[in-house]
């Protein structure tokens, strides 16, 4: 993922609009990616995942796009709701035997009425 230790960028989106959250990853050997949602004071909550042999995957109101050429991942949230306000992280499995997950820097999503 992107450099850790940086303060979170913020995406402000109006309720009902679509949100797009981006993530750049660094390891071309990474073969599995996950998007997580984290609310304040809680652990990460799984949203959607995608393997490197796919470029798109859809869930309920969410879509993940993977562009391996430029090592870019995005999460699209349709019809954003107030409950979607949280910090969103992408995480990559770098393909090692342990299955370690490394997290990107994260994006704070703020949904305004």
Partner 1 sequence: GAVVSQHPSWVICKSGTSVKIECRSLDFQATTMFWYRQFPKQSLMLMATSNEGSKATYEQGVEKDKFLINHASLTLSTLTVTSAHPEDSSFYICSARGGAANYGYTFGSGTRLTVV
Q: Would you tell me which residues interact with partner 1 (CB under 8 A)?
A: 1, 4-8, 34, 36, 41-46, 49, 89, 98-106, 108
State the residue for tokens 């704070």.
Answer: 108
Closest to partner 1 by CB, 10 vs 18, is: 10
Closest to partner 1 by CB, 48 vs 78, is: 48
Residues 6+ apart with CB under 8 A from 72: 22, 23, 24, 25, 66
82 — phi, psi (to 5°)?
Answer: -55, -35
Task: Quote the DSSP letter at residue 17.
Answer: S
Closest to partner 1 by CB, 54 vs 79, is: 54
Q: Give min distance, CB of 79 to partner 1, in A.
A: 26
């Amino acid at each position: 993922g992107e450099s850790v230790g940086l303060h979170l960028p913020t995406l402000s989106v109006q309720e009902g609009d679509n949100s797009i959250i981006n993530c750049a990853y660094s390891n071309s050997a990474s073969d599995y990616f996950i998007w997580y949602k984290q609310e304040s004071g809680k652990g990460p909550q799984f949203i959607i995942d995608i393997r490197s042999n796919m470029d798109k995957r859809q869930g309920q109101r969410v879509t993940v796009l993977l562009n391996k050429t430029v090592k870019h991942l995005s999460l699209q949230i349709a019809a954003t709701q107030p409950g979607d306000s949280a910090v969103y992280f992408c995480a990559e499995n770098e393909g090692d035997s342990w299955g370690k997950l490394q997290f990107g820097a994260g994006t704070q999503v703020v949904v305004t009425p």
